[in-house]
Structures are given as C-alpha cells and as structure tokens.
A and B are shown apart, each in its own frame.
Chain A
Amino acid sequence: MTANVLLFKITLLTYFAATIFYLIGVISRKESVRLAAVWLLSGGFVLHCSTLVARWFATGITPVASLYESLSFFAWALVGIYLIFYLRYRTIMLGAFITPLALVLMIIGSAAPKQAPALNPMLDSWWFPVHVTLAFLGHAVFAIAAAAGIMYLLQERMLKSKKFSGLFYRLPSLDTLDSMNYKCLTFGFPLMTMGIISGAIWANSAWGGYWRWDPKETWALISWFLYAALLHGRLTVGWRGRRAAIFAIIGFAFLLFTFFGVNLFLSGEHSFRNFTGQ
C-alpha cells in the first residue's frame, strides 16, 4: 500500500469518527460532543490535504483524474467548505448532513480502483486542474445549500404544523437557513459558471471544440439553468424560503446525478474510462 492510499484510509477513519460525533451531537446538547466532532473533522481535513498532496507527488498529475481521486477530492472540497461555513454559522446540524455525505463519498472511493491513471496528453493542461477544482468547489457549496434546504423544510414544517420535535430546539432559525441558501448561491453560481467556461476552454484546446453535448455537459448545463433560475428569482421577484430550499435540493440532486449517473451509467468524454483506459 502506498503512502497516499494509507493516508486516505486514515482520513476515512477520522471522518467516520467525526460522523459519529456529529450524529450524537444532533441528540446531545453537550458542548464536548460538538467540540469533539469539529476537531475530529478538522483533523481529518488536514490529513485529507496531505493525502491529496501525497497523491499528487506519487502520480505527477492533479489527483482528480480517476473515479477514486475525484471522489476523494469532492469529499475534501465538501469538508473544507463546511468548515468555512462553520466559522460563520457555528451550527453542528449542518455538519450532521455534510459529514455523512463526505464519508459516503470516501467509502465509495475506497472501493474504486486506486492505481494511478495512465498518462494521457489531455490531462497535461493547466485547464484540467482549474476546471475540476472550480467544478468541485461549486458542487460542495451547493451541497451546503441543499443541506440548509433540508433543514429549512424540516424547520418550516414544524413551525407551520405547530408540532415540535426535539429537532426544533437544535435547528437554526429559518432566517439563518435562508441566508445560507443565498450565500451558497452567490458563491456557488460563479464557481459553477467559471467551472463550465474553463471546461469549455480546456475542451477547445484538447479536442478543438468548445462544446460537444456529451451527457455530462448536458446535465451540468441543466443544473446550471436551474441555479440561474433560482438566483434570478431571488434577486428579482423575491423567491425565498421554502421555494429556494426546494430548488437547492433539486439542484444538488441534479449535480449528484451529473457526477455519478453520468460516470456510472452513461458514457462520454467525461467518463473516467477514457482517462484511465479501463
């Protein structure tokens, strides 16, 4: 087992421990549980950073070329963006959604083949890391938006029906959740837009064409339109709250499908098979 794969496994275990503490934190009010969760996750994140760097040195290309690598990178972006949000909102509930998601990505990643991707002239471009990094950061931000959306719907449902479970006391206020939705949109949308543009430029330099309508491009574009509609609705006609939350959840479902569905079920230029020659 190479060093970077070992580091990956340790990171996975740390995320696993963090997930457990986050889930306990949903029930318990103990400050120590919250702190343990956040510190474990932060520790896992540092480990994850070194995993990625070690992988980069081992393979010589940005570690997002195989399914294993990109899952790991996605999880990394997710945890990193969550930790940034934590600094601002201090809510453990958000982490209770994000950490398990990152853990699942890591577990799927650990099942995927880990050999280094075959060298491919296409990957030898600066646009490749730029495109992939922007796209994944955008995905991560939208994952937060979706988690905030789910929390919003839960909280709104309790406030409307006037039936309160223990969750009511722990979820952030509707206003906080809605402002998270807006923040995510203002960061995520530019990231996604730049991700798509940089991808088009990369495609042009690699294949001599900006857009080829392969399934991933099509689905990404659909998701982009969805988020564009939400942003537009928010800014002009005052879409907010419930509707914005539902949009954020559907949007992220599309993104997940774009990422998994296209790689696993459909074939196209974005499928990892083309990179790794499997």
Chain B
Amino acid sequence: MHIVIVGLSHKTAPVEVREKLAFAPTAMERPLRLMLELAPVAEGLIVSTCNRVELCAATKEPEAAMAALRRFLAEYHEISTEEINSNLYSYQGEEAIRHLFRVASSLDSMVLGEPQILGQIKTAYGYAAEFKTAGLILNRFLHKAFSVAKRVRTETAIASNAVSVSFAAVELARKIFDRLDNKAVMIIGAGEMCELAARHFVTNGVSKVLVTNRTFERAEKLAAEFNGKAIPFEYFVEHLAEVDIVMTSTGAPNFILGQRQMEEVLKRRKNRPMFLIDIAVPRDIDPKVNSLDNAYLYDVDDLQGVVQANLKERQKEAGKAEAIVEQEIGQFYQWLGNLEVKPTIIALRRKLEEIRQQELDKTFGNLKDLTDSQRRSIEAMAGAIINKVLHQPTAILKRTQNDTSGEDYVDAVRTLFDLPGPTGDDKEIKPLDDTDQE
C-alpha cells in the first residue's frame, strides 16, 4: 500500500486559484465519498483551508491514483485540468509522508509555526473518520502526523514567540509585568487595532480597562464591550497613573502625551513600570518617553521589529523540527512496508521455525538415548504441526491481499505474533480536543 498526496498551497497557487479549489467545510461528505469511488483510491482524506487543499489517499497504484486525484480536483470544481496543473503538486511514498508531517508541524505554513493548521488537519481527519473514508493506513498515518506535530511543538521553540503585532504586545507586557491579571489597561482612541490588542490583553487576564476617545459615545461603546470604564478625553492624563499599560491610536496630528507629563505620572505611580504602545501614525506619544526609567514605549515599527525577531527565532528552530520529521518518516515508512503480505508470511514462518528449533533442542537434551530415526520423526512431527497451524492464516493473508481488509490482517498477524519491526505506535485514538490557540 502506498500513500499519495495531491494538492496546492499558498506556495504554489495564488488566492484566486486556492479559493476556486477549496472544499466547503460544512459539506465534506460528498467529496470524500466521490474520492473513494475513484478506482485506485482505497482510503481518502481532504484537508481544505484558506491556504491549502490536500487530497491524501492510500492506494495500491500510486501513479494512477495521483492522476485520478488531479482529475477529481478539477472536475469537482468544474475547472479544466490544464488550468490548474501548474499549481498542483503530487507526492508519493516517503515524500508524501514527509509532506503531511511537515504540514501538520506547521513547517509549510505561511506563518512558520502557526498552530491552527494542526487543528484543521484534525478536523479534516474527523470527517474522514466519520464518513469511514479513512482506514487502517490513513488512521495510523494521521495519528503519526499528530504525534510528530506534538513532538515538534514540545521539543522545539517553533511556536513559542508571538508573530503578530497584537500578540507581540501581550508578550512584551509579560516580559515586563510577568502576570497580567492584576493589571489595568487604558485605550486612547477607539481604533480597530487597539480593540484587537485590548481583546488579547483581556483574554490574557487584564482585569481593568479604561477607554477614552474624543467622541465620548465611542469610548462608552468600546468600554461596555470590555466591561470597562469610559473617561472623557480631556481628563485622561489624570487617570494614567492608575494603569500599567497604555495603548494609543488617535488621529491626532501632534503628540498627545509628552515626556514631562509622563515623568509626573511615573512619580505618582511610585515608579511602578508602565508599558506604552503607540500604534498611531503620526505617533501619539513623544518618543523621548522611552528614555524615562520604568517607562517602555513601543511604536508600530518597534512591534514589527519584535515580530521579525521572533520569526527569525522560529526559523532557527525549524531546522530542529525538520530533523524530528525525518526521524519519524523512517519509522512510519518501515511500518507501511511491513504491511506487505509476502514478508509477513516469511517472518511468521521464521518465527515459528525458531520456536520449533528451540523446543526440539530442549526435548533432545532430555531424551539422550533416542535413535536417529526416532529423532527424525519427532522433527517431522514438529514441522507438520507448524504447517498445519500456518495453513489457514497464510491462506487468508494471500486471499485478502488485494482487498481493503488485507492490511488489517497483516497488521493483526504482526501484532499477535510479535513479529519484528515497528508496530506503528500511537494507536490510541485521541479525542480531537486540542484546539490550539496562539
């Protein structure tokens, strides 16, 4: 049995193509069933996100299956094959395994290390399991991919640093304050960006939110969203000493907060540190404020810089992640190879032969005065028992090797008789509950 993948991603196709080839997440049953009807496809799975579409199948005829999947993708979306051919990639065997492991570990993502892709693949697998289009091979394959992704996440720092501006702000705040749960935020100017960052702060524990805006109604509206308090714009400086984090995004042409005012505020706070985030252009806060002790001022460019640095840090970790993927490919590939019938029968026979030899040696050790002909007949009897025992299992393995259930028998025999080779670990089917969030 082979694994093949046909697909496209943000690396091979622009969004105009990707959106045409996407599968609606609410109606996965039909495409999955149609995919399974393709002659060479034994098991099937469809991953469809805004950045990629992956058709993954288990098959006995990889070349035919890849061609069929390409046609299927085009026909299903009513596009000519030629139109999308240049956007598609197809992988088989080891390459297909590597591809899915890398995708699941977020090594192929647009934002390296972003956590959503794993959840999306889990959902895709959920559908394939629900509609029974995934069998033994894809079950193992996907669970292996999940465990590889998990290893990558725990053993490397690929996902540990924020790569969006608003998350970077939260992360920086943690480097200053450690815990955010007893901290207060002031939002100056009810812009969209501020709102997003404020939401991140609130989900990360910030308990008190003050909002101020030139139009008081907007401040009130936003404050209500966060269970916060609106403050008239004229008085916001007086409330600054109460808050630890300040976010500004007003359209003011000049600085609304200067060094002198901040000096005063810090004194009133007994020098407790303040984190000021100025995402307005032109800037709202005098950059000289950053030179004050215990005040940390970041503007948009600074936050972008942090994001870039974090991305670089992630790239460094990607090498380690690739090494983990390579390690796991070998193991899984070997398991897949072991599902072949012939080597399994040979291994089974060898195993029983070994047992026969051991037991004969033991018996002959105890019965020293047997004649040669007696020994031969005992040996023959043991051989006959093995042949009789093996007859039925061998026949079934041979008969079913072209059915979809063939691999199940091979796998069962390998497990029952403890035949050498990896048994394709991670058998336990974990509930699909790890909803990852950055």
Q: What is A's interface to B at a CB cutoff of 8 Å? A: 29, 155, 159-160, 162, 164, 166, 168-169, 172-176, 237-243
Contact = CB atoms under 8 A, between A and B. Distances in A.
- The binding surface of chain A is classed by DSSP as helix
Nearest to B303: A162
Interface size class of B (residues with CB under 8 A): 20 to 34
Given A175-B177, A243-B293, A238 B157 contact: no
A168 B271 CA distance: 23
Interface string B403-433: 0000000000000000000000000000000
Which of A155, A162, A173 has the most CB atoms of chain B within a 10 A radius of its CB? A162
Interface stretch (B71-79, B305-313, B343-351): B305-313
B170 interface: no
Given A174-B273, A238-B271, A159 B296 contact: yes
A159 B313 contact: no
Given A169-B160, A238-B271, A241-B273, A160 B290 contact: yes
A111 to B, nearest CB: 41
A159 B271 contact: no
Contact of B293 (A169, A173, A241): A241
B270 A173 contact: no
29 contacts: A29-B157, A160-B290, A164-B306, A164-B309, A166-B313, A169-B160, A169-B313, A172-B178, A173-B174, A173-B177, A173-B178, A174-B175, A174-B176, A174-B177, A174-B178, A174-B273, A175-B177, A175-B179, A175-B273, A176-B178, A237-B270, A238-B269, A239-B271, A240-B270, A240-B272, A240-B294, A241-B271, A241-B273, A243-B293
B154 to A, nearest CB: 9
B161 A175 contact: no
Contact of A159 (B157, B161, B176, B178): B176
B175 A168 contact: yes
A224 B423 CA distance: 68
B301 to A, nearest CB: 9
Given A162-B306, A175-B178, A169 B271 contact: no
Contacts of A155: 175
A175 B273 CA distance: 9
Contacts of B172: 159
A238 B175 contact: no
B127 interface: no
Which of A168, A172, A243 has the most CB atoms of chain B within a 10 A radius of its CB? A168
Nearest to B292: A160
Interface in B73-89: none
Interface of B: 156-157, 160-161, 172, 174-179, 269-273, 290, 293-294, 296, 298, 302, 305-306, 309, 313
A169 B157 contact: yes
Nearest to B298: A162
A173 B273 CA distance: 12
Contacts of B177: 173-175
A176 B179 CA distance: 9
A172 B175 CA distance: 7
Given A172-B178, A175-B178, A240 B271 contact: yes
B155 to A, nearest CB: 8
B34 to A, nearest CB: 46
B309 A242 contact: no
B296 A160 contact: yes
Contacts of A172: 178
B288 to A, nearest CB: 13
